[in-house]
Amino acid sequence: MAERKEIHNQAEAFFEKIWTGDDLWELQASEFEQSRFARLSQILQGRRYGRVLEIGCGDGSFTRHLANVAEHILALDISPAAIAKARECNSEKTAVEFRIANIMDYDVSNEGPWDLIVMTETIYYLGWLYPFFDVAWLAGELHKAGSPGGRLLLANTFGHIEDPLVLPSLIHTYRDLFLNVGFHKIKEEVFEGMKHRVKLEVLMTIFEKGSSDEENPR
């Protein structure tokens, strides 16, 4: 228990330092980031989602896009500074609720079921902070918390960047976790772009939760 509390404190301090300062990832100013948001929004089009859970919302940049396809969004982040910025960024979005929370301690089923769960640029940080067992456990909990036919959007950047957190092999392993717990992959693509003269790729995957009969065939 003490070890888990230490991890929580480490995660909160790390992200609080990031979000207390300037826009480290240039989410608002970067053409690449804005194009990434636009493409993520496009692949969600064609369907309206009743209840949406966004995990690791950061400053709420993508939450603004999600609000166009959702009836209600619960957006979580461990950093109080991030949540403060997200509320300011989405002040006119009445269907969005922002909350300070660590997804590893949050009961995802309590307020579900969810018609859409969103994790963009989040899971590799969980993989850095927590044992693989815990990340795999979370994938299973998210599957259970989804509504029948509910979807999960997973998007993570990799490419020509010297960061062990986003090695392509790890990004694909996280993707496969959701297949292994019972989600079906219905759409996947690699979005490409340049940021600071570095070529980046984003693996974007939409999963769907089948009916109980599909998941537990006799």
Q: 119: how many CB neighbours lie within 10 A of its CB?
A: 23
Taking a C-beta distance cutoff of 8 angstroms, is the pair 171, 156 a contact? yes
Domains and CATH numbers, the chain: 2-215 (3.40.50.150)
Say how far apart CA 30 and CA 14 lie, in whole Å.
22
pLDDT of residue 18: 85
Phi, psi of 176 (to 5 degrees): -70, -25
pLDDT along the chain (218 residues), means of 10: 78 87 81 96 94 97 95 97 95 92 96 97 95 96 97 91 88 97 97 92 96 48
Against a cut of 0.95, is the pTM above it? Answer: no
* CA distance linking residue 16 with residue 11, whole number of Å: 8
Token pair belonging to 26: 């240039």
- Taking the C-alpha atoms of residue 172 and residue 160, their distance in angstroms, rounded to an integer, is 16
